[in-house]
Amino acid sequence: MKIYIDGKFCDEKNAKISVFDHGLLYGDGIFEGIRAYNGRVFRLKEHIDRLFYSAKAIMLNMPLTHEEFMKATVETCRRNNLKDGYIRLLVTRGVGTLGLNPNKCKKSSVIIIADKIQLYPQEFYEKGLTIITVPTTRNLHSALNPAIKSLNYLNNILAKIEANNGGCEEAIMLNSEGYVAECTGDNIFLVKGRQLLTPPLSAGALYGITRKVAMDIAREMGFEVLEPNLTRYDVFNADECFLTGTGAEVVPVVKVDGRVIGSGIPGPVTLEVVTRYLQLVHASGEPIFPAKKGKR
């Protein structure tokens, strides 16, 4: 495997960063999880856009331009002959001192890893997930804004630990007011009649790339897409529930906190969203490999 580090490609065993990198010491940095399908990087521009938004929010100087990030990502996939897989793009504050002061970090660092994807087990896509609500609340906007996709994911990890302790792969996180924010690594959607509901970004939901795609698909299907504040009551009484994420794609949820959702099996709306999503991701994206010239 070839890993991109600050403009150079290294073998996996030689891919190293300094122990003084503030990304390692303090989680001081940002990242994106990106998918490649059928030789194309899906929604690459949108992912790089979000990377720059996160960088601006934490005042992180980007060492590459938007176009350079896109080219480096595609080239990393090409060097690894990756047609279908997962890309992890990180930007750290860079090497500094043992103190917190970010001004001691002279230059930020870029790391790009292109590898195979680890999805939920197939049975969850066929039969649906069982999830729970966990005690760990989503970060406050006034503390660490959930819109920032930072390297400090301890809030999500603590919630994931609680999910695992409860025998589940995923869990719902509430915000400090008790409204549904998102899951530990995915956005959450509810189907109610001809409406598709998902928590607003102000509730603590991440601006998910897959979230946006699912909303667009639902509108194409004739659904009214709304972003109201949602409570656990709304989740329990939904006709259908599903989660979205770059890694998860679209996965049905059939039980929450012991309550069966809808009929207890993946619903027709969810399955249609899944079908349309998979059709879209396999037919669009930034090409990884140059188009082959036609034979004369």
Q: Which of 2, 104, 127, 149 is catalytic?
A: 149
- Cβ atoms 32, 89 nearer than 8 A: yes
Rounded Cα–Cα distance for residues 203 and 228 (Å): 9
Structure tokens belonging to residue 286: 């930034």
Annotated catalytic, 149? Answer: yes
Task: List residues bridging with 182 in a β-sheet.
Answer: 173
Containing 249, the helix (H) or strand (E) segment is strand 249-256
Q: Which residues are catalytic?
A: 149
